[in-house]
A and B are shown apart, each in its own frame.
Chain A
Amino acid sequence: MTEQATVLRLTDVRKEYAGGVVALDGVSLEIRAGEDLAIVGPSGSGKSTLLHLMGTLDHPTSGTVEVGGQLVGGLCDAAVSRLRSKWLGFVFQQSHLADRLDAVDNVATGLMYAGAPRRQRRARALEALDRVGMGHRADHRPHQLSGGQRQRVGIARALVNEPALLLADEPTGALDQATVRQVLGLFRTLHDQGTTVALITHDPDVAATFTRRVEIRDGHLSSLPTPTPTPGAIR
């Protein structure tokens, strides 16, 4: 296996909130292109803080974050925003779709800050919807879609700019079991097509569907053994 380029690297990261709460301490993590990674941990373990730091939405108290080989610390807001729009795609527990926009326009929003010309956005958004199997619902508004469908539109919005890393924060947290399976299947398909995925979850069963797994507990990170493929697993 050839060595892939590093997409994201955290080095000895510590995050301390006002009031002295240490959410993360001594966290180092490297994600390479083509990986699929699950970060699993119970609530309060620092998962969300970790995702925010990985997503450059927040800055560490100490330690460094590199996205695409570029150190994030010290960059101005505009540069960090540009980095985000170019390298990262976010999927949240809630899909955060705009109620008054149909699916394709919601997905096109993902291109607004990436400098894509207006006339190309719709076509690219439709392509992204096709990738998540929602092409036939392009003109539906969020309230006309099921929870799973909304989440898939949210994933399409994260994908539309072809980010180097798809960051997902509990994307299945608000879904029922059957839908969870579908969404995880979608992540699997996207990974097979070459997308690098990092997913955060509290659910070990969800994490079990990923090749590489790390566990976060009380702000510390530890690798878990690669699971032996089990045919009956949730995928």
Chain B
Amino acid sequence: MTALLDALSLGWFGVRGRPGRAVLSALGIALGIATLVLVTGIPASGQADLDRQLDALGTNLLVAQPTGGGEEPITLEPEVAAMVRRIAPVESSAALANLNTRVVPHDFADPNVTAGITTLATGPDLLGPLGAEVSSGTFLTHALVDLPAVVLGDQAADWLGITAVDATALRRIRLADTWFTVVGVLPLTPELDQAVFVGWGAARDLLGSDGRPTVVYLRAVESQLEAVRGVLPATLDPAVPGLISVSRPSDALAAKRAVEGTFSGLFLGLAAVALVVGGIGVANTMIVSVLERRREIGLRRAIGATRRDVRRQFVVEAVLLSLLGGVAGTLIGVFGTVGYALLRGWPVVVPVPAVAGGVVCAILVGAVAGLYPAVRASRLAPTEALAAA
């Protein structure tokens, strides 16, 4: 116990002796550990976010839409949502029509700037398959579908600068040449988040829609999903079923999730390289330190320090130096992860094994880096050490 305390206080004393040098040599380790924590923490947070999106989306949501065609875009039958619902395993469905209408945020905005927002016609049944809930205001109820009312997807709301609906001060946006009142804001799937929604009636009366949908969203019993996929094209367009494409939005998220998993392996290698370089820095510092402190070593040997005592002193000093970098690196990594996750609106995930592993790595790197200089110090003949000027 006494020996351990002595070794620790001696080591700490040694580290403090040259603070500038200690900081510089610990910096390498700090960078390595920070990289380690960042490359595990950021993907973990990103994956947690994707998991959350996957959960919200569900894996039984399908999207069906006509693709290709000639100059005239192919549209679907107006009753297509009801038709799809007659497929037994389908739980809910809703149709949407892309109106290709220009969206202008307010009176003073340039009407030629559209900010990439899509206008979609839909009905109250959209909430069913998407399982969405309005975050503010209301969705297009049956009473609203014929009125100039518009609901904003989350991202579109953000772009338009209308993130909440205040009943006492309703905002309006212009679609084509008509002013629509914003009645609600809601988060949906990533692609629908960038759209604004109006009712079928309003679309027909005010925006010149023919009421023919361009896309169908539906949710089916998970176990029957493939079967539903199979019959969908023929149901939607018996004439040319080959032009109907069916996709599952969760597939894209799952693929993204897999890609981010492979990235982290690469960056982990990068962190390991940084750590090794940091270890070499510590070893270098310790070798110089041993050379400079030969007289101290000689004196300690004369006072009665064994070779082991000297070895331990320098190993402990290297470990403390490295640990200093490890703790700093962990803090940088954790702050970086938290900051990045907050910036992206992700849930914060700091993987405890990575942090613990980082600190353990720092200790190990320090011990390995300190071993050679420490052995050199302990092998120094006392007489030679004392003679050093």
Q: Judge whether B240 is part of the interface by a CB distance below 8 angstroms.
A: no
Q: How far is the CA of A55 from the CA of B302 in the complex (A)?
A: 8
Q: Is the CB of B306 within 8 A of A96?
A: no
Q: Is the CB of A81 within 8 A of B296?
A: no
Q: Is the CB of B13 within 8 A of A113?
A: no
Q: Is the CB of B303 within 8 A of A118?
A: no
Report chain A residues within 8 Å CB of B257: none
Q: In the assembled complex, how far is the CB of residue A203 from the closest CB belonging to chain B, in whole angstroms?
A: 20
Report chain B residues within 8 Å CB of A114: 304
Q: Which of B303, B307, B383, B386 contacts A77 (CB 8 A)?
A: B307
Report chain B residues within 8 Å CB of A110: 303
Q: How far is the CA of A77 from the CA of B308 in the complex (A)?
A: 9
Q: Judge whether A30 is part of the interface by a CB distance below 8 angstroms.
A: no
Within 8 A of B (CB), among A114-140: 114-115, 117-118
Q: Judge whether B219 is part of the interface by a CB distance below 8 angstroms.
A: no
Q: Chain A interface residue count: which class?
A: 20 to 34
Known: A81-B301, A81-B306, A110-B303. A115 touches B17 (CB 8 A): no
Q: In the assembled complex, how far is the CB of residue A55 from the closest CB belonging to chain B, in whole angstroms?
A: 7
Report chain B residues within 8 Å CB of A151: none
Known: A100-B17, A113-B305. A57 touches B300 (CB 8 A): no
Q: How far is the CA of A81 from the CA of B309 in the complex (A)?
A: 10
Q: Is the CB of B302 within 8 A of A90?
A: yes
Within 8 A of B (CB), among A141-188: 157, 161
Q: Is the CB of A57 within 8 A of B383?
A: yes
Q: Is the CB of A118 within 8 A of B5?
A: yes
Q: Is the CB of B303 within 8 A of A113?
A: yes
Q: Is the CB of B13 within 8 A of A100?
A: yes
Highest count of chain A CB atoms <10 Å: which of B5, B300, B302, B382 = B302
Q: Is the CB of B296 within 8 A of A90?
A: no
Contact with A along B286-308 (1 / 0, CB 8 A): 00000000011011111111111
Q: Judge whether B254 is part of the interface by a CB distance below 8 angstroms.
A: no
Q: Is the CB of A96 within 8 A of B299?
A: yes
Q: How far is the CA of A114 from the CA of B5 in the complex (A)?
A: 14
Report chain A residues within 8 Å CB of B13: 100
Q: Judge whether A112 is part of the interface by a CB distance below 8 angstroms.
A: yes
Q: How far is the CA of A115 from the CA of B3 in the complex (A)?
A: 8
Residue of B nearest to A83 (CB): B304
Report chain A residues within 8 Å CB of B17: 100
Q: Is the CB of A117 within 8 A of B2?
A: yes
Report chain B residues within 8 Å CB of A157: 303
Q: Judge whether A209 is part of the interface by a CB distance below 8 angstroms.
A: no
Contact with B along A80-115 (1 / 0, CB 8 A): 011011100010101010101000000001101111
Within 8 A of A (CB), among B333-368: none
Q: How far is the CA of A109 from the CA of B10 in the complex (A)?
A: 10
Q: How far is the CA of A64 from the CA of B112 in the complex (A)?
A: 103
Known: A85-B304, A100-B13, A100-B17. A113 touches B383 (CB 8 A): no
Q: How far is the CA of A235 from the CA of B288 in the complex (A)?
A: 44
Q: How far is the CA of A73 from the CA of B275 in the complex (A)?
A: 45
Q: How far is the CA of A5 from the CA of B44 in the complex (A)?
A: 74
Q: Is the CB of B306 within 8 A of A78?
A: yes
Can you name 8 A-B residue pairings with CB atoms under 8 Å?
A57-B382, A57-B383, A82-B304, A84-B303, A86-B304, A90-B302, A90-B303, A100-B17
Which residues of A come within 8 Å of B, CB atoms? 52, 55, 57-58, 77-78, 81-82, 84-86, 90, 92, 94, 96, 98, 100, 109-110, 112-115, 117-118, 157, 161
Known: A57-B386, A84-B304, A90-B299. 10 other contacts (CB 8 A): A52-B383, A57-B301, A77-B307, A78-B306, A81-B304, A96-B299, A96-B386, A112-B6, A112-B305, A114-B304
